[in-house]
Amino acid sequence: MNVRLSPSTLTGTAAAIASKSDVHRLLFCAAQADGPVTIEMNSTSPLSEDILATAGVIRQLGASVVYEPGTFRVEPAKETAVSPLFDCKESGSTLRFLLPVAAARTEHPGFTGSGRLPERPIGELLKALSENGVTPTAEKLPFFFEGNLKSGVFRLPGNISSQYITGLLLGLPGLSGDSEIRLTTALQSAAYIDITLHALGRFGIRVLPLPDGYHIPGGQTFHSPGTLTADGDWSNAAFFLAAGAIGQKEVSVSGLSPDSPQGDKAIVDLLKNSFGAGVKRSGPSENGTYTYTVSPAPLKGAVIDVTGIPDAFPILATIACFAEGPTTFVGGERLRLKESDRIASVRAMIDSLGGQCEETDDGLIVQGKDVTGGVTGGVAGGTVDACNDHRIAMAAAIAAMNAKSDVLLEGAEAVNKSYPSFYQELTRLGGIAHVI
């Protein structure tokens, strides 16, 4: 699907959708619980392709999953599934969370996926599982597991994917013996582990920190909390908050928690203290969440480390196009292993929009106003390939609202991975977008 986006002024309030990161984890916990679980979300939260993939695989685990607008109801598995085939679609988090859970909870499971998923790294996780009783029949999708997962010591690098660690944290508590996760390198994206630990805690699962990892007592039960509410999604809220910084009028996002373990809540600090945008917070509302409002201001370039916030990189690079002077992004080595090579695809997006940037091994240097448009700054317009990456598509769309001419976004349907209603929300706030 191609979408033509025309320069326009965004203003108003968007309601934060439910956090994809949180819902993934809550679904896996619910599937292993000792009773029914109801997961409540913002009633306008769309069902993203990634969440649909996770709902599908926990059904294969034996759980019943019923969705009604704004709510998941999960009846946990009662029997061990034998030879289930799990289709993880294009969701890396679904696959990496599932592998240890399936190894612990099923017999002879099979795994498949589509898109770029078979090429995304899982080797270190498979190695750790194979050292503890489970052998994959191939090194990449599709494959089956042979053998039974045993408790023990699981050694992993901490600088490739925090999703490996999350998968083990979700899968190991139900084993009969104690286990340890030992990190052989420093942990990156620690905030994503914090999201996992928060979800586990809501089901009564204990995880003890170690100097180089985690101790997971065995024989634990996932106790159903009954009904719980998913966190608002800071990662997707960042796109509309950014629109307030680079546009002509203020834009607000409601339903966000400053106490969230999500690393991408750093967008507020980066907008205010690194780029210089106007940021204010109002609330709390009855459910304890807040509304954040961002208003335009003269923006300045900065040095930004994206080690812990890789998902925010595309929209941060977009903001940098409208800032005075260069912005340097560092710490993004793992960005090359996302839905696209995000360093290369963000560079291509900026180039296509008429901006100028320079790719580095671990990031990007965006030149900003002085090069991309003199006094007015910003981007010119053009044709952008979304590279099958939802965050590239959304970043390009926000840039297009403030471009000098139309932007043709190719592969615009990539937003379905995390935010299927993104273009509807964009147009509700005043954006102009037409499918062609």
Does residue 282 share a domain with residue 223?
A: no
Kindly state whether residues 12 and 119 are assigned to the same domain: no
Instruction: Using pLDDT thresholds of 50, 70 and 90, give the confidence band for residue 370.
Output: low
What is the pLDDT, as a whole number, of residue 159? 84
**What CA–CA distance (Å, rounded) separates 10 from 273?**
23
Boundary of a domain, candidates 183, 204, 229:
229
* Start-end of H helices in 173-287: 190-202, 234-246, 266-269
Same domain? 65 vs 9: no
Q: State whether 407 and 319 are in the same domain.
A: yes
User: What pLDDT is recorded for position 287?
Assistant: 85
Q: Is the pLDDT of residue 186 over 50?
A: yes
Q: Which domain holds residue 402?
A: 2-17+232-435
375 — pLDDT class (breaks 50, 70, 90): very low
Q: Return the pLDDT at 136.
A: 97
Q: Say yes or no: 192 and 250 in one domain.
A: no
> From the centroid of its chain, how far is CA 281?
24
Per-residue confidence (pLDDT) for residue 45, from 0 to 100 = 78
How many degrees, rounded to 5, is the angle at CA 311 between CA 335 and CA 2? Answer: 95
- Spatial CB neighbours of 127, under 8 Å, sequence gap ≥ 6: none
Buried b (16+ CB within 10 A) or exposed e, 86-124: bbbbbbbbbbbbbbbbbbbbbeebbbebeebbbebbbee
Q: Is the pLDDT of residue 7 over 80?
A: yes
**For residue 93, is pLDDT > 50?**
yes
Comparing CA positions, the residue from 421, 397, 391, 395 lying closest to residue 409 is: 397
Question: In which band, very low, low, confident or very high, does the pLDDT at 337 lie, cut at 50, 70 and 90?
Answer: low
Lowest mean pLDDT: which of 5-9, 29-33, 189-193? Answer: 189-193
Going from the C-alpha of 21 to that of each of 24, 184, 273, 311, 405, the distances in angstroms are 5, 25, 26, 11, 35
Shared-domain flag, residues 57 and 112: yes
Mean pLDDT to the nearest integer, 32-60: 92
pTM here is 0.89
Q: Which of 206, 229, 252 is the last residue of a domain?
A: 229
Percent of all residues in the chain with a pLDDT value above 70, rounded to a whole number:
97
252/396 same-domain check: yes
- Which of 229, 256, 277 is the C-terminal boundary of a domain? 229
Q: How far is CA 72 from CA 18, 90, 366, in A?
A: 12, 21, 41
Best CA proximity match to 359, nearest among 384, 330, 382: 330
Q: Are residues 223 and 332 in the same domain?
A: no
**155 and 272 inside one domain:** no
Q: Give the Cα separation of 56 and 45 in Å (integer).
A: 18
Catalytically annotated residues: 311
Asked if residue 16 has pLDDT above 90, the reply is: yes
Rounded to whole angstroms, how far apart are CA atoms 30 and 202?
10
Count the residues in the chain.
436
Q: Give the whole-angstrom CA distance, residue 286 versus residue 289.
A: 8
Same domain as 181, residue 154 = yes
pLDDT of residue 373: 46
User: Do 215 and 250 reside in the same domain of the chain?
Assistant: no
Q: What is the model's pLDDT at position 340?
A: 66
172 and 286 inside one domain? no
Number of structural domains in the chain:
2
188 falls in which pLDDT band (50, 70, 90)?
confident
202-219: pLDDT as tens digits: 999 999 999 999 999 999
The CATH code of the domain that includes 213 is: 3.65.10.10
